Amino acid sequence: MTKGNKSINKSIVKTVFEGNILIPLPKLLVKNRFHSLFSIISPTHCDFCGTKLNVNSHYTRFILTSYGTITRNTTYWICPNCNKNFHDQIVGVSGSANYSDEFYDKQKFVRYDGRCSLNNSCRIGERYTEGLTDICGRAPCASSLWLHEQKQAAISKQELLDQNADFDGTLYVDGDWIKKGWKKKFETLIGMEITVKEWKKMRYKSVYVIATKEKVILDFEVTDRLPTIEALIPLFIRIKNRFPEGKIQKIVSDEDKAIIGAVKSVFPEVAHSFCVFHQLKNVSKRYSDEFQSKENIPDNDKLVYDEICQLIHSDTVINSVACFQNILKLESNLELSKASHKAISYAKEIFEKNISFLKKGFTPETDNTMEQIFSLIGDIVDKVRSFKTDSGLTNFCYNLFAYFNKRCFRTGKWAGFSPLMRARFQYG
């Protein structure tokens, strides 16, 4: 270990001019050239006819940024030939927005990392986030942030679908419910009142996500609450077209019938493994329905329960066959409860499903990757409460998933790495 004081980080030294701190601004790449943030790029010729532009008018713009409120004298231009209008571009500011892009990004960090609604993200930004109000006086309001998210969704979609993320050949699939729609507006639309029970069935959508072991989200599909096989097929087709043939070797999911059918249709040659945790949970439920707790299971039924658990954990064809034969012997030789008969019936399904990927040399595993991903996004989705439109929900997912792919882990072995960085580090 070195002794003495740490060396001075000269990059954080600020220049003071007439009592004001001068902060060096970063440079951004615009049309193959680097320009300082908030500098002005003026058009010279018409994009339609190529005629040299004339000055039309001048206007002073006020831009709220993390560096303070800045003013820029911008010029509006007109083409003397075709009368098309143009205006100066401010680097780092989208269109006619009052906020800079980096200011929106800071607020987006508050929203997604703080897992809060649009209204609350504005409130938190104003009260607690350094630089949002101390310098500029206000944070982006809920409607302004929402409009920015809708525009940003096109960029996020491109990032999500074009990202070059390598993986170990295994993909994970799962879905979760998300609230969508407003009850009063829907009642007005159809001209009749609906019960709370009916609304609960109608208002939910499902978001199905495909990700890698490194928690890189590759793609998603918004469907009805209980989707058909056909509703998920486009998602798997996009994934199939994205990677070279033979790259995808195994798909892990729970026993969702829509997922099973879609995988069988699009990836008939790929091994489909089912989450060990979900299978164990399904077995336990059959016994808890009759005996309430594991401790109350009779001895004969306990033998069956343990053997089925062994079947689920079997990592070779030989072990799986041996366990299955033992289960059949217990079924024929012992007096068993209804719960055991239901569990044995389910065990026969498990054996048929699991044996196919065991023959290909794969071992059972959990779908914990997807559980962890949905635990991250579940909190913020709950805070959002509801989405008004399908497009609003879809755009939100594009932005959220693109953000989480670049967000660094804070704890564990990969602290300081984002899912995308982790994938690049592991697979080059």
Given this model, what pLDDT does residue 322 score? 93
What is the location of CATH 3.30.420.10 in the chain? 160-274+366-427
The pLDDT > 70 percentage for the chain reads: 89
Distances in Å between the Cα of 389 and the Cα atoms of 60, 180, 312 are 36, 7, 41
User: Which burial class, exposed, middle or buried, applies to 83 when counting CB atoms under 10 A from its CB (0-12, 13-18, 19+)?
Assistant: exposed
**If you average pLDDT over every residue of the chain, what do you get?**
85
pLDDT band at 108 (very low <50, low <70, confident <90, very high): confident
Q: Of 21-25, 80-84, 319-323, which range is least confident?
A: 21-25
**Amino acid symbol at 216:** V
Above 80 in pLDDT, residue 262? yes
How does DSSP assign 330-367, residue by residue?
A: HHHHS---HHHHHHHHHHHHHHHHHHHHHTTT------
Average pLDDT over residues 340-369: 87
Confidence of residue 1 (pLDDT cuts 50, 70, 90): very low
Q: What percentage of the chain carries pLDDT values higher than 90?
A: 40
Question: Residue type at 341?
Answer: H
Amino acid at 360: K
Give the mean pLDDT of 116-136. 69
- C-alpha distances (whole Å) from 192 to each of 182, 184, 188, 195, 196 are 14, 10, 7, 10, 13
pLDDT value at residue 236: 96
pLDDT for 305-333, tens place per residue? 999 999 999 988 999 999 999 999 998 98
CATH topology of domain 160-274+366-427: Nucleotidyltransferase; domain 5 (3.30.420)
Q: What is the pLDDT of residues 168-207, one digit of tens each?
A: 999 999 998 887 766 666 667 777 787 777 766 677 788 9
The model scores a pTM over 0.85: no
